[in-house]
Structure 1
Amino acid sequence: MKPATISQLKKELLHRNPEELLQLCLRLARFKLENKELLTYLLFESDDEQGYVERVKSQLDEQFADINATNYYYIKKSIRKILRGLKKYIRYSGNKETEVELLLYFCRKLDEFHPSIHKNRTLGNLYQRQLEALTKKIGALHEDLQFDYGSALKKLTH
């Protein structure tokens, strides 16, 4: 079964009444965790973006504290999992400032992590890729924000 395009879906949704739309949203939320998480963000957290950022940061702190640091293999798996979840939360927001702030926080936590990620090539490369992506994303922001986030990025690049 081939899914319809976004424009086709939009046209069809315009012809539905509010009760049908409610039932469609609830059915979507029932089938996939990501749909439920996105709906939760849109309904409850999108009004307070700074609060959302703080909650995601505290969740990152917990995840970094739970990493099994006995072996680089486990560290790599855990950090990739954390980054995957972080990218999902960034997608929910869709706000460029939120994206930059959360990625900067992730990179800071990664840089401070012990044992050092710089002793492992894979983790070092992951860190460098995130810094390069941050550089591009910061360039797309307003000039004042570019300066603020740029100075935070310079601290990470040593």
Structure 2
Amino acid sequence: MKAVSVVTIRKELKHRSPEELLELCLRLSKFKKENKELLTYLLFESHDEAGYIETVKTEIDEQFQNINTNSYYYIKKSVRKILRNLKKFARYSLKKETEVELLLHFCAVLKDFQPSIFKNIALNNIYDRQILAIRKIVDGLHEDLQYDYNLKLEELNTVDHTFKRHHR
């Protein structure tokens, strides 16, 4: 079966009763965990974006604490999984500020992670790519927000480059 376009779905949904829409939403939530997470965000967390950001940051912190540090291979796999989850949670929000906040937190935690990510090229590249992604998003935001986020980026960058220079 081929899926129809969003425009077609929107037109069809306009012809449905509120009860039918409710049933469709509930049925969607049963099929994929992501659908249920998105509905949870939209119904319970979208009104308090700051609270949502803090919840996701806490979850990121917990995931970092549970990383198997026996080898860089396991660390890399775990960091990629955390980043995938972070991107998914940022997509639920659709707010660029939320994505920047979450990525800044991710980079700060990753930078301070032990053993150091700067001793591993793959982890170092993940970190550098996220810094570039943050810069790209920040460039599209309002000037006041750009200033605030660029200050946070500079904090990450100055310590980061100092560390890299001394440990390579």
Length-normalised TM-score, structure 2? 0.93
Aligned positions of 1:38-49 closer than 5 A? 38-49=38-49
Matched, 1:123 2:123: yes
2:162 aligns with none
Gaps of 5+ in 2: 159-168
Partner Cα distance (2:93, 2:144) in 1: 21
1:52 aligns with 52
C-alpha offsets along residues 84-110 of structure 1, whole Å, 9 cap, x if unaligned? 000000000111111100000000000
1:61 aligns with 61
Length-normalised TM-score, structure 1? 0.99
| Off by >6 Å, runs of 4+ in structure 1 | none
Partner Cα distance (1:83, 1:99) in 2: 11
2:12 aligns with 12
Aligned residues: 158
**Pairwise CA distance, 1:112:** 0.5
The residue type paired with residue 91 of structure 1 is: R
Aligned positions of 1:66-145 closer than 5 A? 66-145=66-145
Gaps of 5+ in 1: none
C-alpha offsets along residues 93-138 of structure 1, whole Å, 9 cap, x if unaligned? 1111111000000000000001110110000111110000110001
Please provide the CA RMSD for this pair: 0.6
The residue type paired with residue 130 of structure 1 is: Q
The residue type paired with residue 59 of structure 1 is: E
Matched, 1:37 2:37: yes
The residue type paired with residue 78 of structure 2 is: S
**Pairwise CA distance, 1:157:** 1.4
Partner Cα distance (2:70, 2:31) in 1: 37
**Pairwise CA distance, 1:155:** 1.2
Partner Cα distance (1:138, 1:31) in 2: 35
Partner Cα distance (1:8, 1:55) in 2: 35
2:27 aligns with 27
**Pairwise CA distance, 1:76:** 0.3
The residue type paired with residue 145 of structure 2 is: L
